Structure 1
């Protein structure tokens, strides 16, 4: 058997376990992303909810869903690709983002609460 006819699988082939999308898959992702962008825009522009905190929660929820749509349809991330390492990296990234955002909000809240003078303090100044 000659060296030219042997096939060495070095892991750089096209069958690496990642899902490859078609035009239909990309169009599905695009339509979902467009809808998930239009709904929050409509909610904010029309003022559908009386409380702004409700609007913010709905917009954040739809943003999380849109991130998942992007990861599945455009980044082709799933639990099977690359032996599950993509999912592990995603979970680690999400944990870091949650820690960073919650810590930042916590620090900003306490700085605002402890450092900003109240209106009563401002009126009593000469």
Structure 2
């Protein structure tokens, strides 16, 4: 496995994450789409961004022989569930 001193993969991941975030913001604030369409669009972009971050920042494919690291997937799912359901719990109670 080759590691360079300059983290170009992280820079690309950051830029793509920012693009997805700004795209969601533009759709939410500057379109006249129905609210449910906007929410679906933001949800799809969030799912894409989560996948992007799994591959770019959590090094999900850096297991043995390029295999997917299952521990990283499980950890990221647990963190995502805690954040989402914790937020919903705090907002509603």
> Does the alignment reach a TM-score above 0.5?
yes
Shift, 1:47, TM fit: 2.7
Choose between structure 1 and 2 for higher RCO, CA contacts under 8 A separated by at least 6 residues: 1
Counterparts of 1:1-126 in structure 2, within 5 Å, are 20=3, 22-49=6-33, 51-78=34-61, 81-82=63-64, 84=67, 86-87=69-70, 90=73, 93=77, 97=81
Q: CA, structure 1 residues 63+46, in 2 after alignment: closer, same or farther (shift >3 Å)?
A: same
2:54 counterpart SS class: helix
CA RMSD across the alignment: 3.2
Aligned length: 81
> How far apart, CA to CA, are the structure 2 residues paired with 1:26 and 1:88?
21
Instruction: Note the alpha carbon deviations across 1:10-69, whole angstroms, 9 max, x for none.
Output: xxxxx6xxx8574221111111011010001111111341x1111000100000110111
Residue 60 and residue 20 in structure 1: after superposition, are their counterparts in 2 closer, same or farther (change >3 A)?
farther
Shift of 1:89: 5.5
Runs of 4 or more consecutive aligned structure 1 residues displaced over 6 Å after TM superposition: none
Indicate if the aligned counterparts of 1:29 and 1:73 stay in contact, CA closer than 8 A: yes
SS at match of 1:77: coil
* Higher-Rg member (1/2): 1
Structure (1/2) with the larger helix percentage: 2
- Give unpaired runs (5+ residues) of structure 2: 89-93
